[in-house]
Amino acid sequence: MANKQVLVTGGTGFLGAYLLRYLVQKGYQIRAIKRKTSSMDLVKDIQTQIEWLEGDILDVPFLETAMKGVQQVYHAAAIISFDPKQAAFMLKVNAEGTANMVNAALYEGIEKFVHVSSIAALGRKEFQPHINETAQWENSKENSNYAISKFKAECEVWRGMQEGLNIAIINPSVIIGAGHWDLGSCKLIQRVAKGFKYYPKGSTGFVDVRDVARAAVLLMESDISGERYILNGANWSYQTFFSQTAKALNQKPPHKLAAPWMINLLWRAEWLRSKIFRSSPLVSKETARTSQATYYYHNEKIVSQLDYEFIPMEETIQTTAKAFQKSQEQGLNYGLMPLY
C-alpha cells in the first residue's frame, strides 16, 4: 500500500494537516494541492516530505496534470461558510470543484477516490432527529447553503461511481481538535477560552479530527467501494460540549440557557456588525437556527463493519485544550495534537 502515489486536496487545512501526517507516517508518496495564499502553519514540520502543487480545483487542465501517475485521491478541499455573501462562491468550489475532481479522476484512471463530505450533506428534516447513512436528502429550510453545496458535491461523486470510479465517502459530524484557532470549528475553543454565560438548547454530533483522518485512510486501504460512512464520536448537547470544554480550559462553564429571542437578536447584531466592519459574522441566521435544533447521528455502520473505535470526546477536548494553552504560551494562533 505505502508505495502508492496519493493526491490530497485541502492538505493545508484543519483536517488535511492530520490526514497528511497519517500518510507520511505510513510511508506513502504524497502529492498535495495548495493555493498560492494557503498558510503552511499546520504542515510546517512535514512539508518537505510532500510534493506540493500550486493550483485550484476549478482549473481542469491543472487537475489532470496533478493526477498523472497517481493511484489514490483524497478530496478534502471545501469551503465552509455560513455567511450568505459566500454562498454562491462556496457552491461553485464545493460542487463544481468536486465535479472537476471526479472528471479528472475518471480521465486519469484513478484506482480509488475517497471524498470528505459532511453530515450536512445528509440533510436535516424537522421532527426527524435520528440520522444514519440511509437518510434521503429533501429540500428543507433546515438545510444551510453549506449543506446544499456538500449535497451537490456528493451527487458528483455518486455520478462518478456510476461512470466507473471506485469511491468511498465519509460524512463527519462537527470536527473537533487543534488547528487555526480563528477558523471553522476551532473557533469554538477560542470562544470558550474567553468565557461566556449562555448556551443554546440544541444537540449535534462531534468527532475528533484524528478519527476523520484515520477513517479516510482506513477506507482507502480497504476493499470497500460505493459506500458512505457517518463519522461521529458523540452526540452531545451544546451545553455538554461547552461545559466540558470550559472545564478543560479552566473556565467557568456557561450556566444559562439562551432563549430563542436572544439567539435571534445575536445573529441580527452580528449581521449589522459584519456590515459595518466588512467582516464575516460570528453567528449567522443559519448557525443560529441550527444551534436550537437537536439531531442524533448514528455511527453503527463503521463501528460494526470496520470494528472502528472512536476516540472518546472527553479525551479529544482535554487534548485540544492542552494544545490551545500551549499555543497561547508560545504566542501562536494555531495548535496541533499528537497522532492517535
Q: What is the pLDDT of residues 96-132, one digit of tens each?
A: 999 999 999 999 999 999 999 999 999 887 778 999 9
Interval 129-137 mean pLDDT: 92
The answer to whether the beta carbons of residues 5 and 29 sit under 8 Å apart is yes
274 falls within a domain: no
Helix axes 313-329, 238-248, angle to 10 degrees: 40
Helices (H) and strands (E) in the chain, counts: 12, 14
46 falls within a domain: yes
Rounded CA separation 14/211 (Å): 13
pLDDT band for 290, please (50, 70, 90 cuts): confident
Rounded CA separation 88/38 (Å): 21
pLDDT band for 227, please (50, 70, 90 cuts): very high
188 falls within a domain: no
94 falls within a domain: yes
- In this prediction, residue 256 carries a pLDDT of 87
154 falls within a domain: yes
Which range among 8-17, 25-34, 258-267, 304-313 shows the weakest confidence by mean pLDDT? 258-267
CATH code assigned at 226: 3.40.50.720
pLDDT greater than 60 at residue 297: yes
Greater pLDDT, 305 or 261? 305
Q: What is the pLDDT of residues 148-188, one digit of tens each?
A: 999 999 999 999 999 999 999 999 999 999 999 988 899 89
> Domains in the chain: how many in total?
1
Q: What backbone torsions phi and psi does residue 132 show, to the nearest 5 degrees?
A: -130, -170
199 falls within a domain: no
pLDDT band for 1, please (50, 70, 90 cuts): low
Interval 46-61 mean pLDDT: 96
Interval 53-82 mean pLDDT: 95
pLDDT greater than 80 at residue 251: yes
Place of cell 445573529: 267
- In this prediction, residue 231 carries a pLDDT of 98
pLDDT greater than 90 at residue 82: no
- In this prediction, residue 265 carries a pLDDT of 78
Task: Give the C-alpha distances (Å, rounded to integers) separating 338 from 80, 178, 240.
Answer: 25, 10, 24
Place of cell 484506482: 111
Q: Which helix (H) or strand (E) holds 210?
A: helix 209-221
pLDDT band for 2, please (50, 70, 90 cuts): low
Those residues with Cβ within 8 angstroms of residue 327's Cβ, 6 or more apart along the chain or in another chain: 178, 181, 333, 334, 335
Q: What percent of the chain clears pLDDT 90, i.e. is strictly above it? A: 76
> What does DSSP say about strands 234-237 and 203-208: parallel, antiparallel, or unpaired?
antiparallel
Q: What backbone torsions phi and psi does residue 202 show, to the nearest 5 degrees?
A: -75, 180
Residue 48 is part of which domain span?
A: 5-179+206-235+296-314
Rounded CA separation 334/181 (Å): 5
Hey, how many other C-beta atoms are within 10 angstroms of the C-beta on 307? 7
Rounded CA separation 40/30 (Å): 16
20 falls within a domain: yes
Those residues with Cβ within 8 angstroms of residue 5's Cβ, 6 or more apart along the chain or in another chain: 28, 29, 30, 31, 69, 70, 71, 72
264 falls within a domain: no
pLDDT band for 267, please (50, 70, 90 cuts): low
pLDDT greater than 80 at residue 285: no
3-state secondary structure at position 214: helix
Average pLDDT, the chain: 92
